[in-house]
């Protein structure tokens, strides 16, 4: 039996951060992990998918933009899929190894195995080496989530895959059917198409990324996906599959009729479910809601006072950076610092082509919250010198502000490096900035970041690099 001040269950982007912060605050800390350090994100999610997206983005640039720039490649570019996957894995291994070094450097005890509560104060850890026990004054549950499996499509992670299997193909599949047009399905569809796969998306909603991102941003990505040759069936429902000569025959319902499509691989990306049904939470008396999320308060404390939960397992949004934020917060609360989860916005990024990023509210959300008088404008990347020089001009920066106060309410970006640009918007919204704060801040030239300044200027009605109506006397006075 080992005794600790803090025991963290799960080493994903919430768990390992919580363990490090706990140790930094002087707590004797342990972290339990049944698989690889870093959890889903570092090993089979965020990091490997971005590695594959980066590689295929470079491939696409070489195939489509280099010749225009005068960069001629003699012969075609051969993709060695096994080497590509090996490189992707090396990226994951470096990140996981880095987490291991950070935990060691902060004297965190790593316990390998599957953790289950025996009581509210004790857990058992089962592994191939046997079973051990650990007690803790405090526990932080960071057990994450897993892909949702739908009827008729059992995962084997070889032919019928979740995102995990789709990131480990050792050869380029000729035909892929993707069930679900959410952000995970679209990200993987995008890179597979660039590798040369025929991709068909079966989406139950009337549009891609419905309810996930700003509709205008989604339209830009949808147009490019369709232009690239990705087939998308909207309002369609996957019903089943069967093995046939040369692959799998997938049956889906469309407009009341059964349709069929044949594929070599099937990717199911209809969402993720929290792991609230694992770790024998009942033995500790931890409350779990009907959706499988652990019930927590604003401090991420469960109904059991010395047990906390962070990340995907405790509620939406199920995003790595939200989990890391909570991973810093909870140990500080345990140490006596008076903190609560009070983020004004949690940014969201979709690594499609082009990227989508958002902070704050959409126009519809603003109106739901009572902001009926809004200032809204877009600034296109096509009017930005850096974007033009990169040959990546699709998309725009869209800003939404309260017309009465000019306080920034939402920023939605679709275009090159949207994932990097959105952090400025997060800071602005957290600080309660007005549009003028962004517009009057000098941004370096030539950069993609200038689009933020110009979008703010456009929202005020006087962007320099797009043509807008003259301000007029009233607007001049308001601007002054």
CATH of the domain at 464: 3.30.390.30
What pTM value is reported for the model?
0.95
End position of a domain, from candidates 248, 270, 292: 270
d(CA 294, CA 314): 5
What is the count of structural domains for the chain? Answer: 3
The single residue of 445, 462, 465, 479 carrying the catalytic annotation is 445
d(CA 389, CA 387): 5
- Which pLDDT does position 422 carry in this prediction? 98
**Range(s) of the domain holding residue 363:** 354-479
Both 207 and 76 in one domain: the answer is no
DSSP 8-state secondary structure symbol assigned to residue 314: G
Over range 169-188, report the average pLDDT. Answer: 96
Both 128 and 9 in one domain: the answer is yes
Contact 412, 362 (CB under 8 A): yes
d(CA 41, CA 15): 11
Over range 219-244, report the average pLDDT. Answer: 97
Question: Which domain CATH number covers 55?
Answer: 3.50.50.60
Q: Is 445 among the catalytic positions?
A: yes
Q: How confident is the model at residue 348 (pLDDT cuts 50, 70, 90)?
A: very high
Tens-place pLDDT, residues 193-220: 999 999 999 999 999 999 899 999 999 9
Tens-place pLDDT, residues 428-478: 999 999 999 999 999 999 999 999 999 999 999 999 999 998 866 556 655
Both 181 and 293 in one domain: the answer is no
Tens-place pLDDT, residues 277-300: 999 999 999 999 999 999 999 999
Q: How confident is the model at residue 22 (pLDDT cuts 50, 70, 90)?
A: very high
**Is residue 219 a part of any domain in this protein?**
yes
Distance separating the N- and C-terminal Cα atoms of the chain = 70
Q: How many CB atoms lie within 10 A of CB 149?
A: 14
Rounded to whole angstroms, what are the CA distances from 435 to 174, 411, 427, 460, 470?
Answer: 48, 11, 13, 7, 19
Four-point Cα dihedral 198, 203, 206, 212, nearest 10: -100
Both 41 and 179 in one domain: the answer is no
Contact 378, 397 (CB under 8 A): yes
Q: How confident is the model at residue 315 (pLDDT cuts 50, 70, 90)?
A: very high
**Is residue 345 a part of any domain in this protein?**
no
CA 81 to chain centre: 25
- Which pLDDT does position 75 carry in this prediction? 85
Q: How confident is the model at residue 107 (pLDDT cuts 50, 70, 90)?
A: very high
């Amino acid at each position: 039996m080992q005794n600790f001040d803090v025991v963290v269950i799960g080493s994903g982007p919430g768990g390992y951060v919580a363990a490090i912060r706990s140790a930094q605050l002087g707590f004797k800390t342990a972290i339990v992990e049944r698989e690889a350090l870093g959890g889903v994100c570092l090993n089979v999610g965020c990091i490997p998918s971005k590695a594959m997206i980066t590689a295929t983005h470079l491939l696409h640039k070489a195939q489509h933009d280099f010749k225009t720039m005068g960069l001629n490649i003699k012969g075609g570019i051969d993709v060695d899929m096994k080497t590509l996957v090996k490189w992707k894995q090396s990226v994951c291994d470096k990140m996981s190894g880095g987490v291991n070094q950070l935990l060691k450097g902060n004297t965190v005890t790593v316990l390998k195995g599957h953790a289950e509560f025996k009581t509210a104060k004790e857990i058992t850890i089962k592994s191939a080496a046997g079973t051990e026990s650990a007690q803790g004054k405090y526990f932080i549950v960071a057990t994450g989530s897993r892909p949702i499996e739908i009827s008729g499509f059992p995962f084997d992670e070889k032919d019928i895959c979740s995102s995990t299997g789709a990131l480990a193909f050792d050869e380029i599949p000729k035909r892929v059917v993707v069930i679900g047009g959410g952000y995970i399905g679209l990200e993987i569809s995008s890179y597979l198409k660039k590798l040369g796969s025929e991709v068909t998306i079966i989406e139950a909603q009337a549009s891609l990324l419905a309810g996930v991102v700003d509709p205008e941003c989604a339209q830009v990505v949808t147009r490019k996906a369709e232009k690239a040759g990705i087939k998308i069936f909207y309002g369609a429902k996957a019903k089943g599959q069967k093995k046939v000569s040369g692959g799998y025959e997938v049956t889906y319902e469309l407009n009341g009729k059964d349709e069929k499509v044949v594929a070599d691989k099937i990717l199911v990306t209809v969402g993720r479910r929290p792991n609230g049904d694992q770790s024998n939470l009942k033995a500790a008396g931890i409350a779990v809601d009907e959706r499988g999320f652990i019930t927590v308060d604003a401090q991420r404390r469960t109904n059991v006072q010395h047990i906390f939960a962070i990340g995907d397992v405790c509620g939406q949004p199920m995003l790595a950076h939200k989990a890391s934020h909570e991973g810093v917060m909870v140990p500080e609360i345990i140490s006596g610092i008076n903190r609560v989860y009070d983020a004004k916005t949690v940014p969201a990024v979709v690594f499609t082509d082009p990227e989508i990023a958002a902070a704050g509210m959409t126009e519809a959300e603003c109106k739901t919250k009572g902001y009926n008088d809004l200032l809204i404008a877009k600034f296109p990347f096509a009017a930005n010198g850096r974007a033009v020089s990169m040959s990546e001009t699709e998309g725009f920066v869209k800003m939404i502000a309260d017309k009465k106060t000019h306080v920034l309410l939402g920023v939605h970006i679709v275009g090159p490096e949207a994932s990097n640009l959105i952090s400025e918007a997060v800071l602005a919204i957290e600080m309660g900035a007005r549009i003028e704060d962004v517009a009057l801040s000098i941004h370096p030239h030539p950069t993609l970041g200038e689009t933020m300044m110009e979008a703010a200027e456009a929202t005020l009605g006087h962007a320099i690099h797009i043509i807008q109506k003259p301000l007029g006397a009233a607007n001049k006075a308001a601007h002054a």
